[in-house]
Amino acid sequence: MASIKDRFLFPKLRKLTSQFEQLGAPNAESWAKSQLREGFDQISRATLLRFFADKTVENGKVPQYFRDAESVTAHVKNAVDQIDKAGLTDEVETVLKLALFNAMSDVMVVLDGNAAIENNPEDIEIGLYKLDSEFSPETQIVALHESWSEFAAEFLGKDVIKHY
């Protein structure tokens, strides 16, 4: 017979697991159990990781993205045309995805408060928070960088990102 605790947690676990699956989180049930067991706001964390992964994929499409973006100069468009003519689009996209992955990793380390900002005249501290309906900090979102490689590999490809 299931305990009261199990009857209370099972519907929450099922709902959270479904939400993590919707986000494409690897090991969705593990993420859900972690949120329930440890009390960390894993759903907000996974939502941001999915956003970063989607943007990395979107911005890693060389010809399509760089031909359509308004901010691209003629010089860049010419470089993209040369890449396309040389038949190196796939190779450049692979390298670009990895470069974007690394840039996002650096941003996440800063957002997690784990990076020393060298040019920091005000000695600011950085933190990322989920806001409530009145825009007040509700919960801190931490450890983005710790799951980034596993999450990104699902969307960028395991041939591009080595999960460590």
Burial 111-136 (b: 16+ CB within 10 A, else e): bbeeeeeeeeeeeeeeebeeeeeeee
Identify the pLDDT of residue 108. 93
Identify the pLDDT of residue 92. 84
139 backbone dihedrals φ, ψ, rounded to 5°: -140, 145
Per-residue confidence of the chain (164 residues) as pLDDT tens digits? Answer: 555 555 566 889 999 999 999 999 999 999 999 999 998 899 999 999 999 999 988 877 766 677 777 888 888 888 888 888 888 888 888 888 899 999 999 999 999 988 888 899 999 988 899 999 999 999 999 999 999 999 899 888 888 887 75
Say if residues 154 and 53 touch (Cβ distance below 8 Å).
Answer: yes
Identify the pLDDT of residue 4. 55
Identify the pLDDT of residue 62. 67
Identify the pLDDT of residue 41. 93
CA distances in angstroms from 145 to 26, 42, 125, 138, listed in the order given: 15, 13, 17, 21
CA distance 45 to 144: 6
Token pair for residue 62?
A: 């060389």
Identify the pLDDT of residue 129. 93
Identify the pLDDT of residue 58. 85
